[in-house]
Amino acid sequence: MLTKFTVKTTKKGDDMAFMTVEDRYGEIEVILFPKIYEKFRAYISSSDPMFIIGTVTKRVEEDAKLICDAVYPLIPDDRYTETKKADDEKIAPRRKKIYVRVPSTDKNVYPDIERVLALAAIYESETASDKLILYGVDTGKYYDPIIVDITDGLKNALIKQCGEENVR
């Protein structure tokens, strides 16, 4: 949750941002340098949860800070809705697979691979049994599956990121 947000102008006249975010474990200051702030400013929200990717820095006698590399909204879906059935109604869940074609799994060639992996990480859980399988066009190889909960939210986010023709 975003608790504090400040925009500053650099000497070059570019905007950068400082924000404090917190969860149930604590809070941390997040620094968004001008290029990152410009690219991801639309995803910064005080009311919606965010997924922030970055590097933690810690100086002597200062609190840790997060140098932001990316900010994405968490995608609401029905994954967290608990439904209870009687024991005799329980049916073994059907395992699903989703294939995602990407130009490369090398972030130097295809920087958006980090976004795809971040989306997969959001949907990983101890109880997950579905498989997200990446196919690298540059290598012509399928990569080891990532065990996730496949939901409409994940599928829609992957389609938005990679294109409908690349998600099956």
Residues forming beta bridges with residue 143, ordered by sequence position: none
pLDDT in tens, 57-67: 988 888 899 99
pLDDT in tens, 4-36: 999 999 999 999 999 999 888 889 999 999 999
> What is the per-residue pLDDT for 74?
76
Domain boundaries, the chain: 2-73, 82-166
What is the spatial distance between Cα 101 and Cα 137, in angstroms, rounded to a whole number?
A: 7
What is the spatial distance between Cα 91 and Cα 102, in angstroms, rounded to a whole number?
A: 34
pTM: 0.48
Tell which wins on pLDDT, 88 or 128. Answer: 128
pLDDT band at 75 (very low <50, low <70, confident <90, very high): low
Q: What percent of the chain has pLDDT over 90?
A: 45
From residue 106, how far is each of 57, 78, 136, 137 by CA, in Å?
Answer: 25, 32, 9, 11
> What is the per-residue pLDDT for 1?
81
